[in-house]
Chains A and B, each alone.
Chain A
Amino acid sequence: EAGVTQFPSHSVIEKGQTVTLRCDPISGHDNLYWYRRVMGKEIKFLLHFVKESKQDESGMPNNRFLAERTGGTYSTLKVQPAELEDSGVYFCASSQADEYGYTFGSGTRLTVV
């Protein structure tokens, strides 16, 4: 079974530019989550999809962040325009229904310079 795949693994962009992160969950997993870890800090929840619907987006920092999950399959997280404080590792995770121990991807390390 393929795991959760994230692309790219690394991205370095200049302040003010746009970046789009992609996540392919495990096939059949309706739940998809985005989390972020800023260096040395805790892993923080961003949002949760159930299929194509946003179940909870209470962790999204501001309106520069836009997440989509078209057709309930893969998801994208767009940051526009990027700011220095957006740097960190963005993790995507997926799970089946009623499952708390979800599977994480390897993350995308975003550096805004």
Chain B
Amino acid sequence: DQQVKQNSPSLSVQEGRISILNCDYTNSMFDYFLWYKKYPAEGPTFLISISSIKDKNEDGRFTVFLNKSAKHLSLHIVPSQPGDSAVYFCAAKDSGGSNYKLTFGKGTLLTVNP
């Protein structure tokens, strides 16, 4: 039973345009959400996060939006750059479980074309 879903396995965008990566979750106990970026042969790298008490968090070119009623979050990258090409994982923390255990989605491969 997958609690964090990234329904788009891949996404291709042009350099300079906006990339929007989506994530849906089913567990209403999730209270903190994170995005990780992963290059081939490397481990995931923490990118940006958002608490469930907020609906938006911005860090430079990266913005995460949270819609609690829809159990949906999205990562916006603008403008997109070729170096952003990587697999992006959405992850969530359960307020009722182990403090630091994360539940991940399957990832979305983003390709930014020059």
A residues near B, CB below 8 A? Answer: 4, 31, 33, 35, 40-45, 48, 55-56, 58-59, 91, 93, 95, 100-107
Cβ B98 vs Cβ A56 within 8 A: yes
7 A-B residue pairings within 8 Å (CB atoms): A45-B101, A45-B103, A48-B98, A48-B101, A58-B101, A102-B46, A106-B43
In the complex the two chains form, is B43's CB within 8 Å of A102's CB?
Answer: no
Residues of B that sit less than 8 Å from A by CB: 2, 4, 32, 34, 36, 41-46, 49, 89, 91, 93, 97-98, 100-107
Task: Report Cα–Cα, A55/B100, bound state, in Å.
Answer: 10
* B98 adjacent to A101 (CB under 8 Å): no
Q: Which of A40, A43, A95 contacts B44 (CB 8 A)?
A: A43
Q: How far is the CA of A88 from the CA of B102 in the complex (A)?
A: 18
A105 to B42 CA separation, bound complex (whole angstroms): 7
Give min CB distance, B89 to chain A, whole Å. 6
Contact B43 A104 (CB under 8 A): yes
Name the CB-closest residue of B to A9.
B41
**Bound complex: CA of A33 vs CA of B89, how far in Å?**
17
The reply to whether B106 and A101 form a contact with Cβ atoms under 8 Å apart is no
- For the complex, give the distance between the alpha carbons of A56 and B49 in Å: 23
State the CA gap A35–B4 with chains docked (Å): 16
Partner of A107, one of B34, B43, B46, B91: B43
A43 touches B89 (CB 8 A): yes
A-B residue pairs, 9 tightest by C-beta: A104-B43, A101-B46, A56-B98, A43-B104, A42-B104, A42-B106, A104-B44, A106-B43, A45-B101
B100, A48: Cβ atoms under 8 Å?
yes
Tell me the smallest distance from the CB of A39 to a CB of chain B, in Å: 11
A residues less than 8 Å from B107 (CB atoms):
42-43
14 A-B pairs besides A42-B107, A43-B89, A106-B43 with CB distance below 8 A are: A31-B100, A40-B106, A41-B106, A42-B2, A42-B106, A43-B44, A43-B91, A43-B104, A56-B97, A101-B46, A101-B49, A105-B43, A106-B41, A107-B42
